[in-house]
Amino acid sequence: MVADRQQVQLGAVQETLFIPLTARARETRKKRPILRDPKAVHMVDSIDFDLARYGRDTGGLITILRTATLDVWVRDFLATHPGGTVVEIGTGLNTRFERVDNGTVRWIDLDLPGTIELRRQYFADTERRQMVAASVLDETWLETVEQQPGPYFFVAEGVLVYLPPDDVMRALARIAGRFPGALIALDSYSRRKLDQNHRVAARHSIAPWQWACDDPRSLERLGLGVVEMATTTRPPKLLRAQIPPGYRYLLPLADTIGRSIRNTLFRADRPAAR
Ligand SMILES: C[S@@+](CC[C@H](N)C(=O)[O-])C[C@H]1O[C@@H](n2cnc3c(N)ncnc32)[C@H](O)[C@@H]1O
């Protein structure tokens, strides 16, 4: 019953957290889901938000493949560095910790204050896991990260695209400069995809994207070397086996769309270009 659901007040960009949340809840309810997220099902059922606006199914599979790709990369990192620290930038109501926890990882969930306030109603800090209320554009949270053991893995899923391009560059260069050797995983979208998004965002009155990136290799000038690049239609090998065969064989046929949506894993491994 909607009357029993929790009312929330969030800003327009913050409310976009309902898009991936709904996608994970929907996927979980499928017979053969690519990923399972029972907590997302619970949160979707208990929060009163505009499902028509944020719960559209279009893009659901793209979002799930993005999330699952980033899960694969984080698991891979933890297999080699079981006691390292993962920083989830713009975490929203993401449950990556629940999906990949190995019992020893340290974890920081970073998001804007209003989002963290909502998040605290469903998640609790523990000895290994803490929430930090700050903008990725601030510098203060970097000190909190430094207090945790390295090596470090920064994940920014579905967040940088909402920020002005100059801010994205500054934030990434700052992380790369302060955490040499760290891994950074993020999603990016071509200019064409951004234009498409503006039309959809205007139709549904949701926050539009701001940052487009036609080639993630262009970020190498910030001191980031590309370790692996996956398009949505050609996800990492480790993930392909989890995708139902019907989709697995059809996905490469949608390569034109796939190339405009990239998930990239970088390593902070070189001085930034001046
Ligand atoms: C589309 S949601 C993605 C949420 C989450 N990463 C996921 O995949 O479920 C975008 C998130 O970015 C957060 N966000 C937007 N601007 C931010 C900023 N400047 N600093 C930190 N987080 C930000 C929003 O509050 C929201 O939680």
Nearest ligand 1 atom to alpha carbon 114: 25
Q: What is the pLDDT of residue 122?
A: 97
**208 CA distance to ligand 1 centroid (A)?**
13
Q: What is the CATH number of domain 57-268?
A: 3.40.50.150
pLDDT in tens, 113-128: 999 999 999 999 999 9
**181-220 pLDDT per residue, tens:** 999 999 999 999 999 999 988 888 889 999 999 999 999 9
Task: Please report how the helices 18-28 and 60-80 are oriented relative to each other, as an axis angle in degrees rounded to 10.
Answer: 90
Name the residue ranges covered by the structural domains of the chain: 57-268
Q: Supply the pTM of this predicted model.
A: 0.94
Residue 226 DSSP code: E
How far is Cα 75 from Cα 72, in angstroms, rounded to an integer?
Answer: 5
Instruction: Compute, in angstroms, the gap from residue 246 CA to the centroid of ligand 1.
Output: 32
Going from the Cα of 139 to the center of ligand 1, the distance in angstroms, rounded, reads 17
